[in-house]
Amino acid sequence: MEFRRKTLPTLQGHKDSVNLVSFSPDGQIVASASDDGTAKLWRLNGTEIRTLKGHSSNVYGVSFSPDGKIIATASNDQTVKLWKLDGTEIKTLEEHKGLVRHLNFSPDGKIIATASADKTVKLWNLEGKAIATLSGHNAEVNRVSFSPNGQTIATASSDRIIKLWQRDGTLIMTLIGHQSDVMSVSFSPNGKFLLSAGGDRLVLLWDVSDLSLKGLQANGCKQVYDYLKSNLNASYNFCD
């Protein structure tokens, strides 16, 4: 299949590295998280809507709630902040003891999961109360992902391990296969498979129904941090 490059606007305005970007649920707004300590909101034509200022250090993660009304940001200052689209700060979540690397809303929008260098993932309600702490990793947690039905949470850590948890914080299973830091983890849209990517140049595809290793791809890839979309009918050669 041949893809033709189409020139689109470049979003320029951050003063340091951009760590993560995220689309709003309706696809009309882009949020960006930067080492300059801010998150920015953009229109698709490249126009900057506003800057979210409030963190005292690098912003690593940004995510929209499923209804698109709330934006969450994760920072090196060990906090998570919740914002309205108009830039108003709603809440600051402050119980982590290390930088917060990543975060995600549950599909129903009722829970926020945050991954931290303190080796834990915390689950929060929208009022800003920590309702569960997922403890068990032995190193920084780099990514957290909900299954499409919102009942299973996957965590990826620098301890080379992936863990699956119930929504109430109960550990289901530990998945071992990577030989280096696990940098990313993501469920397939149908919830049947789990993809993990690591510093070992591997992308592992797990069959969640029986938790077996479905396949691994190591075709000369350099470090793979995010493989966000997958076509399960295609070849397993994700990295040529």
For residue 3, CA distances in Å to 6, 133, 185 come to 9, 43, 26
Spans of all domains in the chain: 18-135
pLDDT at 233 over 70: no
Task: Average the pLDDT over 63-74 and give the result.
Answer: 98
Torsional class of 56: left (φ above 0), alpha (ψ -120 to 50), beta (otherwise)? alpha
Residues 12-25: tens digit of each pLDDT: 999 999 999 999 99
- What's residue 208's pLDDT? 79
Q: Report residue 2's pLDDT band, with 50, 70 and 90 as the boundaries.
A: low
For residue 1, CA distances in Å to 14, 126, 234 come to 35, 43, 11
What whole-number distance in Å separates Cα of residue 190 and Cα of residue 221?
A: 26
Torsional class of 208: left (φ above 0), alpha (ψ -120 to 50), beta (otherwise)? alpha
What whole-number distance in Å separates Cα of residue 82 and Cα of residue 73?
A: 7
Residues 74-132: tens digit of each pLDDT: 999 999 999 999 999 999 999 999 999 999 999 999 999 999 999 999 999 999 999 99
The encoded tokens of residue 2 equal 């041949």
Assess contact for 101 and 115: CB atoms under 8 A. yes
Q: Report residue 54's pLDDT band, with 50, 70 and 90 as the boundaries.
A: very high
Residues 126-164: tens digit of each pLDDT: 999 999 999 999 999 999 999 999 999 999 999 999 999
What angle is formed at CA 123 by the lines to CA 29 and CA 21, rounded to 5 degrees?
Answer: 25
Fold of 18-135: Methylamine Dehydrogenase; Chain H (2.130.10)
87's CB contacts (< 8 A; 6+ apart) are 41, 50, 51, 52
pLDDT at 226 over 70: no
For residue 198, CA distances in Å to 184, 215, 219, 226 come to 7, 14, 13, 9
